[in-house]
Structure 1
């Protein structure tokens, strides 16, 4: 009996759902690995047929260049983890639950009560938890947090947006050790009863210390609520969450950043960070210093905020700032220097104390209805109307953290951003990327001269812009006080610019289809030097996910979603147990399609078939990237052997793909793929370069004897 070499092939990988090394080569067989010099995404065309317009798929590929000039290409595919309507261990993934964790029932159809289940999965945080229990399937245990932003409608078709409380799920994920494939073994709902429920969670992020930062978007107007509680969703949300028609809501209880900690025993605990300010939180993204946090503020007439925590990895106390836009150009979305205005310092407990006392808008502000001495004229979300306000004596801290936008506008910050969505950080270059989905309205010049301010005066780009912002240290705020961060946003300029069409094309597109339209989710991969962009477009017939190389500036379409669906849950995950992933969800397929008839009806029919009559969103990921390295297989001067003979002797399956000219060899969990005419062989996701090109002679393929010997061990 031969002694087996028990050392495993261990190669750093870059791929998405990669194949893991399980083959055991001899140490003499492989030389040091080549290094990757560049990763290029090769894009796919927009969908052309009704069938393709009604599904989610990738036809893109990735071209990897190594330091010896070698180039290899790998196709990408999309894999579904689950639908929001899937029942996993008795729990519908997207079900809405009340304060007791019980399903909230949809009784809109008499005698047919069913649970409310969301079709709108959003943010993902795939995470590896130290000490987590095995899944029972033999793979590595991972955890996945997923938002369910809202529920589009009840059974009768009536809108349920904001009326039914949102939810979040915690999934147990099995990561196959041999292939990297992800599968769901359990789903349960995250309990938000300790913080009064979860209000419209949009995007989110994974912190550097491995917790999930959630969000609460579209904060209710506390002034409108005080005048008439029926004007906002607060009352219906509260009554549905507590299942109590007498329960009174509080708008100041929502509009914050929740932080979720997943524990080794698969429990999840939740806190809300009231000291991070109350506004329309698209998400919060933490800088490499583990203290500085950047935000998206979604809506119209919104504001750019910055939070600097007192301590690293502790977001319970800190200083909140708002930005002043100082414009230097109106082209390509505009260019501006940012000056930061300090709004105040607070702890979570200090702000929560105001909420617990039942504070109202009128406790914080005095209001006038016209220009009045001592009052400041402002215009900002959520009212979007001109207001004249004055902070009551001693209420500055309450104003700063409960009415962050209104107070920021009073202090001189710019409240003119429009649809500020995702943010992502490039640590190496100290860059921040911000998606402005629609550059229009409050971002255009105020030609009537009626607004409270007009800091932003850029040219309209309805298709939106992704901005790049330089991050710098040694910065001072407007009052010349030091900002205690090395990651302060300074110069902001348009980077990836959409292009509006003068009229709709034959598919209904009103923005150029080969450019990003209405960017939303952003995620950056340090190892790939690539910014990923997900669309929420009302200007593309199909929304897409894009890859933008920050070095070459190449933009590539890598995923197409069904018409009317939004790309959500975008997360670039580098190197979990030797594998990497790009998480990407879709929500509300078939919603508000802009496709003209008769094509619209045809596409809609396929969408109904694929997504449970538009009731299901998907949680999934893009798959297919290879290892970052190629090892050279050392020529040991042993004679080559015939693959087919060796495979038969070892009980392996050999498959020939005539179209691709590839040969696939499978034995157990081990898989080898090679292509005629190339010098590469891929074994369980690792790529090796052979001494010469692979040839077929008389129907037989020959390979190095020691390579096959290692594979069949």
Structure 2
């Protein structure tokens, strides 16, 4: 037993707590001897055993500056096989604030989050006289952190690693009055980062705008995931309705900003899955997959088989979708399925759960669906009525909270399945009943997938106009604070027609894992949901090594949104991060081992996006602070969690 350990036990027995500094090499050096070891050079180095987080308190108006910034006061404790520990006092390290000028790797600069048109020219904000400027996003979102074995980028002193970052939208033009949501083509960038081998710290060396012209531009890119083969899987949510596109002012503005014409953009080119490949020089290329269904893609999670993917569908009357690719590491061809739930769906975490069967909607290649998208109009594919046509050839469905009646044109089932996926899935009997199914992720060891429901309301609530009893997704009262579902993954499954599903990773049973708690009346700060529980979960990522589900919030019910860590073994929920008030937590990602270091990426969107009555108590105090911190509320940040001295490491430091 070492002297350090003896002293710790002596203090314990004397009733005196031992205070240990946390973070980086100092704590690692102090605790190296804890838990035994003879000091013999032949003794094997202790291995990682487990990790746990120590929670931070939610900020309050006692320290308003903390409510107006990204606050991290949490701690990660790592335990090793010899019972010694290593601690990291966590902090937030931004790569940039949108609107910053950042290095382009060629000796010049680019505007971080800046918008460009189809030809790559800056899109200008002219809403303030004599102050024209390039539009830039206040809403960075999905982020993937990765490395390439053959990376070669000038200016790297340590290890070259990369991050792909997408920008969902911008909220306002600079006049503060012109709504820009969904009216600009979403940019996506590759960041080249210099990783210090000694500390794991990351610094930005190069920012590259990916040319999105091969994907016909990008539409409202929200969450993202890193594929098992190292590509960035993006998203396009809230697919524009092709049946009402002629009167869609938002889509006309999008088309005008992208192409210079209000009528050139084709709605069937949007609502799909873009995939970005990073090149060794820090550039990137993009392709869009048209065969994974045209839905409100939040993000997808590809299973360890490199073929099976489950998808979040951020919609009212949304569904739970699955895609099984024909070949590994290739999403350009495969089969699309929608879930049909049996009885048993419940918010009770102790309930048995609801079984899932799968309706096969069709099989296709991306190329053939792209060809259909290029040539077909909505009325070529389906007949749609908004009042009962009193015709038995039509089927009643629920879409976006409203009732419609639909009929597929002869020979158009494939087009309907992949271009009018919401309507077709409902027609075929899918459980199109979820409200805002957001992030998805997988716990491979336990073969459990997770889905976030930002809110559980409207189409899920018995008696609501959007509710369909036959969908078997029913709760008696809305839960605005939402929750997280857990799906058991199984092998040997068949679709509802009896066909074998060629995957060992098929969701077969759904239970509720975690739920938030709505407050009957707002608390003193204005929270409408319990701030010590999850509220409107959105981003989800799972760490196999840490055995932890990370949860980021997009809440209109918490005054500050949080990032949480939920240990699936100990069932402990820990608050890790508080975002600036009014901001959404986005860009959540976790990489267990990147050249020996562990990273949690975390961004935020639209700081100071004040809600009524949510922010009535705090707005007057916090608004000037948020404006000072984040470019008058037009800026937002992209970054990661790190330790005080080094980044996080799950092996002994020093």
TM norm. shorter chain > 0.5: yes
Q: Which residue matches 2:55?
A: 43
CA deviation vs aligned residue, 1:301-349 (integer Å, no higher than 9, x gap): 1111000000000110000000112131433388311110000000011
- The TM-score with structure 1 as length reference comes to 0.82
Which residue of structure 1 lines up, in the alignment, with residue 159 of structure 2? 140
Deviates more, 1:212-221 or 1:245-254: 245-254
Separation in 1, partners of 2:224, 2:201: 24
Which digits, 9 at most, give the CA deviation of each residue in 1:217-249, with x for residues without a partner?
110011111xxx23253222111111x236522
Query: After superposition, where does 1:404-483 map in structure 2 within 5 Å?
Result: 404-446=421-463, 451=468, 453-459=470-476, 460-483=478-501
SS at match of 2:623: helix
* 1:143-292 correspondence runs (5 A): 143-157=162-176, 158-225=178-245, 229-242=246-259, 244-245=260-261, 247-292=263-308
Q: Is the 8 A contact 1:326 1:336 kept in 2?
A: yes
CA contact 2:459–2:468 (8 Å) conserved in 1: no
- 1:333-352 aligned at under 5 Å gives the runs 335-352=353-370
Q: Distance in 2 between matches of 1:577 and 1:269?
A: 24
**5+ long unaligned stretches in structure 2:** 1-21, 30-38, 104-108
Residue equivalent to 2:14:
none
Q: Compute the displacement of 1:596 (Å).
A: 5.0
Note if contact 1:317-1:348 (Cα within 8 Å) is conserved in structure 2.
yes
**Distance verdict in 2 for CA 1:516–1:269, change over 3 Å:** same
Q: Are 2:102 and 1:93 equivalent residues in the alignment?
A: no
Q: Does 1:53 align with 2:70?
A: no
Does residue 323 of structure 2 align to residue 303 of structure 1?
no
Residues 195 and 271 in structure 1, CA contact (< 8 A), matched pair in contact too: yes
CA distance in 2, matches of 1:616, 1:426: 34
Determine the structure 1 residue equivalent to 2:650: 628
SS of 2:631 mapped into structure 1: coil
- The equivalent residue for 1:319 is 335
Q: Tell me how many residue pairs correspond in the alignment.
A: 607
Work out whether residues 220 and 233 of structure 1, in 8 Å CA contact, stay in contact via their aligned partners in 2: no
> Displacement, 1:299?
1.8
Does structure 1 conserve the Cα–Cα contact (< 8 Å) formed by 2:171 and 2:606? yes
Contact kept? 2:448, 2:486, Cα under 8 Å: yes
The answer to whether the Cα contact below 8 Å between 1:378 and 1:452 also exists between their aligned partners in 2 is no
How far apart are residue 599 of structure 1 and its match? Answer: 3.2
* Alignment gaps of 5+ in structure 1: 1-14, 631-684, 687-713
The verdict on how the C-alpha distance between 1:133 and 1:499 changes in structure 2, with shifts beyond 3 A counting, is same
Q: How far apart in 2 are the matches of 1:385 and 1:338?
A: 25
C-alpha distance in 2, partners of 1:361/1:136? 50
CA distance 1:110–1:133, change in 2 (3 Å): same
Aligned equivalent of 1:704: none
Describe the shift of the 1:503–1:88 C-alpha distance in structure 2 as closer, same or farther (beyond 3 A). Answer: same
CA 1:447–1:137 in 2, change beyond 3 Å: closer, same or farther? closer
Tell me which residue corresponds to 1:75: 89
- Distance in 1 between residues matched to 2:181 and 2:91, nearest whole Å: 32
Q: How many Å apart are 1:398 and its aligned residue? A: 0.0
Which residue does 1:354 correspond to in 2?
372
Change (3 A) 1:16 1:224: farther
What TM-score do you get using the length of structure 2 for normalisation?
0.89
**Deviations 1:647-693 (Å, cap 9, x if unpaired)?**
xxxxxxxxxxxxxxxxxxxxxxxxxxxxxxxxxxxxxx34xxxxxxx
CA distance 1:245–1:628, shift in 2 (3 Å):
closer
The answer to which structure, 1 or 2, has the higher relative contact order (CA under 8 A, 6+ apart) is 1
Question: What CA distance in whole angstroms lies between the structure 1 residues aligned with 2:494 and 2:650?
Answer: 41
Distance 1:68 1:579, change over 3 A: closer
Query: Distance in 2 between the 1:596 and 1:186 partners?
Result: 38
1:537 corresponds in structure 2 to 555
Greater C-alpha radius of gyration = 1
Instruction: State how far apart, in whole Å, the 1-side matches of 2:392 and 2:263 are.
Output: 40
Q: CA deviation at 1:74?
A: 2.7
